[in-house]
Amino acid sequence: MPEPLQATDRTRFHRRANRGTHDRATVDAILDEALICHVGFVADGAPVVIPTAFVRVGDAVYLHGSTANHMLAATIAREVSLAATLIDGLVLARTAFHHSMNYRSVVLFARGRAVEDPEAKAKILAALVDKMAPGRSTACRLPDATELRATLVVELPIVEAGAKIRKGPPLPDEGDDARLPYWAGVIPVSLARGEPIPA
């Protein structure tokens, strides 16, 4: 069983009464669907946010990159915040005030740890290509020892984390607003895959 997720003082930034959850399965599903995340760390006392690919394996998410990567270096043994967000819809109400978006997001907090074991790194990098295209790890050459040494993998455990979800139609406009002659509803949006382009 994974550790139960923790709600802490800083998870409040990603909370809203009726939209927040610390359900692990919900968190995992969002992490597994999101192709990229945004990683936040502190450099010289100020915040830095950088987008990057990632993958969840078991009870942690993993970042990777070159051993010269500045962002990764700034996450090892340091506090990190990671957010992964899926946009599901544009919510148009009769009033500008009630416009919103449908989305599913996860925010987690952890300290980064470099994964040293080559077998563990290989497994994580295989999971990463499988996330991009199912079964891809059996349809490409996996990293050799030199490539593994050139790749830094950073682990962030999924413990202090939560999800936030908004779905469904706009909040109903009330009174006179409900009778305004404007269209209201949701424009669904999703990340669509196009026709593959061979190299």
Show contacts with a copy of itself in window 67-126 (CB under 8 A): 70-71, 74, 79-83, 85, 87, 90, 92-97, 99, 101, 103, 105, 107, 109, 125-126
Q: In terms of CB distance, is 116 or 193 closer to a copy of itself?
A: 193
Q: How far is the CB of 111 from a copy of itself (least distance, A)?
A: 10
DSSP 8-state secondary structure symbol assigned to residue 132: H
Q: How far is the CB of 119 from a copy of itself (least distance, A)?
A: 15
Long-range contacts of 25-29, Cβ-Cβ distance < 8 Å, separation of 24 or more: 26/163, 26/165, 27/106, 27/108, 27/158, 27/161, 27/162, 27/163, 28/56, 28/158
Q: How far apart are CA 152 and CA 105, in angstroms?
A: 26
Q: In terms of CB distance, is 25 or 47 closer to a copy of itself?
A: 47
Which sign does the torsion angle of CA 44, 48, 50, 55 carry?
A: positive
Q: Is 19 helix (H, G, I), strand (E, B) or coil?
A: coil
154 lies in the site for a copy of itself, by CB under 8 A: no
Considering only residues 166 to 195 of the shown chain, the ones binding a copy of itself according to CB under 8 A are 169-170, 172, 177, 180, 182-195
Residue 114 · residue 76 · CB < 8 Å? yes
* Number of residues lying near a copy of itself (CB under 8 A): 83
Q: In terms of CB distance, is 1 or 119 closer to a copy of itself?
A: 119
Q: In terms of CB distance, is 60 or 184 closer to a copy of itself?
A: 184
Q: How far is the CB of 3 from a copy of itself (least distance, A)?
A: 20
Q: How far is CA 177 from CA 92, 98, 165, 184, 185, in A?
A: 13, 11, 26, 11, 14
Q: In terms of CB distance, is 1 or 150 closer to a copy of itself?
A: 150
Considering only residues 12 to 71 of the shown chain, the ones binding a copy of itself according to CB under 8 A are 12-14, 35-36, 38-51, 53, 70-71
Q: How far is the CB of 62 from a copy of itself (least distance, A)?
A: 14
Which sign does the torsion angle of CA 87, 34, 78, 111 carry?
A: positive
Residue 156 · residue 110 · CB < 8 Å? yes
